[in-house]
Amino acid sequence: MNNKHIVVIGAGLGGLSAAISLATEGFSVDLLEKNDKVGGKLNILQKDGFTFDLGPSILTMPHIFQKLFEKAGKKMEDYVTIQTVEPHWRNFFEDGSTLDLSSDPVRMKQELNKLGANTAQEFEQFLAYSKKLCEITEQGYFEHGLDSFWELINHYGAVRSLIDFDVFRSMDQGVRRFIKDPKLVDVLNYFIKYVGSSPYDAPALMNLLPYIQFGYGLWYIKGGMYGMAQGLQKLAEELGVDIRVNSEVAEIQHTGKRVTGVRLSDDSVIAADIVVSNMEVIPAYQKLFKDQAKEAKRLQRFEPSCSGLVLHLGVDCIYEQLAHHNFFYSDHPREHFDAVFHSNRLSDDPTIYLVAPVKSDPTQAPAGCEIIKILPHIPHLNPDKPLSAEDYAALRERVLIKLERMGLTDLRKHIVCEEYWTPIDIEQKYYSNQGSIYGVVADRFKNLGFKIPQRSTQFNNLYFVGGSVNPGGGMPMVTLSGQLVRDKILADLANTF
C-alpha cells in the first residue's frame, strides 16, 4: 500500500485517468476541478430539449480506456456502452460529389473506385504504411511513455528512428507518396484534425492516424459522449478518489525543488506529497506559480494547437444526406491551413467538420429535429493579432452560407437553438493555452511533433497530464497520459530508495 498523498489538479480525462491509475496503486488521491462537473473539454449542455456534447464527438482506441477499468478489476461495459459508427465519415466536395470512409472493406473499395481504377490499391498501400507507423509508435512511444526525441533515439536507435518514423517528410508529403487523387489526399490530410495541426507542417508520423481509425474502429458512446466522463467519475469514486468540483486551485506551493501542496481560491490549503496537473503546462506555470515566468517563457516553443469556432445548433428538420460525422472541404486547402497556422486569419474558405449525432442517437434531440455541431479550425488567440467578436460573427455567417450552398438547404432558417463558442470562451472555461483545443501543435520544425515532457524540470514531485504533454491531444492520448504518469511516479519513487 502506497502511503503518499497525491493532489490532481483538473478533472479532464487526463486528470481522471491519473487519479484512477494512482488510486489503483493504493495512493490517496484528491481530484480538484474548478468547474461544476468533471470531464474538462468532454462536456455537456442540455438546452431546449437538445443535448449537446460540447467537446469530443467520437471515440477511438477504446482499449486504452478498457485498461483503466481492467486494472481496477472492473469491466468497462458495466460503466459505458459504446457502439460503432458507420460510415466513419462522409466527405462533401464543392463539385457535389461525396466519399464515405467505411469499416466495411467492400463498401470502402466501392467508394474509392469513384475516384479511379487504381485508387483502392493506392489506399491499401497507404494504409499498410499507416499501420507500420502506428505499430512502431505503440511499441515504444506509447508503451514506455517516451518523452523526448533523445529518449526516442535511445529506445529505437538513431537509424531506425529516422527511417521508420519517416522524419524527413511532412504528413502531406507522406500521403502523396501513395495517393494521386486530390480529393483522397485532402481526406487523408484532414486526419490531422485529431491533433489540431497542419498536414503541411506536421511530421509524416501523423499518418498513423488513419490506421488508428481503421484498425481500432470509430465509436460513439450510447447516450452521449459525456457518458465516458460519468463512467470514469463513478470508477474513481469507487476507488476512493475524493473528487471536489467548484474547487479552483489558485497556487501550487513549493519549497526549493519540491512542491508541498496547493492553495485553493478560498485560501484553504491541501498538503501533498506529489502534485499532478491536468491544467496545460504553460498556463499552469503562469497562473499557479509566482516565480516561474522564466520556465513558462522557456516552454513557448511548444506552441498551442489551433482553436475552433464551435457552433452547436438545434434545427427543426432532418438533413437526410448527413452521416454522423461529415466533412465539407475547402477548395483551397493550403490557403485554409496557411490562414489558421501562419497568417492568424479566419479562413475565407474553411474545411468544416460537422457532427450530426442524432444519426446514431435520436434521443439527443426532440422528435423531427436534429443536432448540427459545426467546427471549423481557426487560429488560437494571439495578443499581437487580435480577432474581434465581429470577425468571429462574420466567419459564422460564412460557414453557414457555405453549408447551405453545399446542400444543407435553408440551414439558418431552421435553427431553433444555438450555443456559440469562440477561442475566448474556450480559454476562460478550461484555461487552455491561448484558447487551443488540442494542446500543443504538431510541427516537425518547431518540436518534431513532440509535446512537453510529463515530468516537471523545475520540481521533483510535479507531473503533468493532458493534451499539452506527451503523447498529445485527443481522448485516447490524454487518457493514456494519465496511465503513463502513474508509471513515471512509481519509477521515480522506486529510484529514491
Average confidence score pLDDT of the chain = 96
Q: Among 2, 490, 5, 1, which Cα is nearest to 260's? A: 5
Q: Among 497, 496, 483, which Cα is nearest to 71's? A: 483
Q: Which three cell numbers stand for residue 43?
A: 462536456
How much is the pLDDT for 330? 96
Give per-residue pLDDT as tens, 39-54. Answer: 999 999 999 999 999 9
Could you tell me the fold of the domain covering 5-42+57-69+223-302+452-495? FAD/NAD(P)-binding domain (3.50.50)
Q: Does the model's pTM come out above 0.85?
A: yes
For 63, residues 6+ apart whose C-beta sits below 8 A from its C-beta are 216
Residue type, 281: V
Look at 55 and 399; give whichever has higher pLDDT: 399
* Rounded Cα–Cα distance for residues 442 and 141 (Å): 15
Distances from the Cα of 151 to the Cαs of 140, 157, 161, 233, 311, in angstroms?
10, 10, 11, 33, 41
Give per-residue pLDDT as tens, 358-394. Answer: 999 999 999 999 999 999 999 999 999 999 999 999 9
Three-state DSSP class for residue 182 = helix
Distances from the Cα of 309 to the Cαs of 41, 54, 186, 412, in angstroms?
14, 12, 21, 16
Confidence of residue 449 (pLDDT cuts 50, 70, 90): confident
Confidence of residue 150 (pLDDT cuts 50, 70, 90): confident
Paired sense of beta strands 310-315 and 307-308, if any: unpaired
Segments of 265-408 assigned E as strands? 269-271, 274-277, 307-308, 310-315, 325-328, 352-355, 370-378
How much is the pLDDT for 440? 96
Give per-residue pLDDT as tens, 12-49. Answer: 999 999 999 999 999 999 999 999 999 999 999 999 99
C-alpha dihedral, 479 to 65 to 229 to 18, nearest 10°: -40
Cα end-to-end span (Å), the chain: 16
Give per-residue pLDDT as tens, 58-99. Answer: 999 999 999 999 999 999 999 999 999 999 999 999 999 999
Is it the case that residue 338 has pLDDT exceeding 70?
yes
Confidence of residue 1 (pLDDT cuts 50, 70, 90): low
DSSP 117-163: TTHHHHHHHHHHHHHHHHHHHIIIIITTT--SHHHHHHHH-HHHHHH
Q: Which three cell numbers stand for residue 402?
A: 457555405
Task: Give, to the nearest 10 degrees, the angle between helix 119-137 and helix 209-216.
Answer: 90
Confidence of residue 497 (pLDDT cuts 50, 70, 90): low
Judged on CB neighbours under 10 Å (0-12, 13-18, 19+), 111 is: buried
Is it the case that residue 223 has pLDDT exceeding 60?
yes
* Rounded Cα–Cα distance for residues 275 and 272 (Å): 6
